[in-house]
Amino acid sequence: MKKFFSSIKEKFSGSSYDIEGKPETGYVEVDAPRDDGRSKVIVKPFQLENFEDIKPVLDSLREGHTIALVNIRPLKESDMSELKRAINKLKKTCDAIQGEIAGFGEDFIVVCPAFATIAKSSEISNVEE
């Protein structure tokens, strides 16, 4: 009778168990997950020459794997009101993705998603002390 139930159990479960329900000794090979490149962080430079140049920056940030280094000098020299609009758009997107934004020198802005933190100048001086 035990043989009968064991054969039925093997057919339905597809694995080899002994009569007490314990798995047979041995091992199973498991392949490591493959890296498809989507989990890597990308640091990407951008340059703002007009307000429309903000769209690729925002799209990259929304993907979630990009830290954006944005050169604002050309837009700053040409149209300050458009620069303010672009920075406000970056701030809103940054809030939406729970990221951070900070100025880097006078001509660059750094924007990162939630997984990264920007070290502010006060934090840097604390580290140096």
Let me know if residue 82 belongs to a domain.
yes
Q: What is the pTM of this model?
A: 0.62
**Helical axes 80-96 vs 54-63, angle rounded to 10°:** 10
- CB neighbours of 33 closer than 8 A, spacing ≥ 6? none
Let me know if residue 10 belongs to a domain.
no
What would the two tokens of residue 14 be? 């597809």
Q: How far is CA 88 from CA 5, 82, 101, in A?
A: 70, 10, 11
Q: How far apart are CA 5 and CA 12, in angstroms?
A: 11
Let me know if residue 25 belongs to a domain.
no
Mean pLDDT on 97-121: 88
Q: How far apart are CA 105 and CA 70, in angstroms?
A: 11
CATH number of 75's domain: 3.30.110.150
Let me know if residue 121 belongs to a domain.
yes
DSSP β-bridge partners for residue 126: none
Q: Torsion angle of alpha carbons 91, 96, 100, 101, nearest 10°?
A: -20
Assign 120 a pLDDT band (cuts: 50, 70, 90).
Answer: confident
Let me know if residue 24 belongs to a domain.
no
Lowest mean pLDDT among 12-21, 55-64, 94-103: 12-21
Let me know if residue 109 belongs to a domain.
yes
60: number of Cβ within 10 Å:
18
What total of structural domains would you count in the chain? 1
Nearest to 110 by CA among 74, 57, 62: 57
Query: To which H or E segment does residue 46 belong?
Result: strand 42-47
Let me know if residue 75 belongs to a domain.
yes
What is the per-residue pLDDT for 1? 66
Range of the domain at 46: 42-128
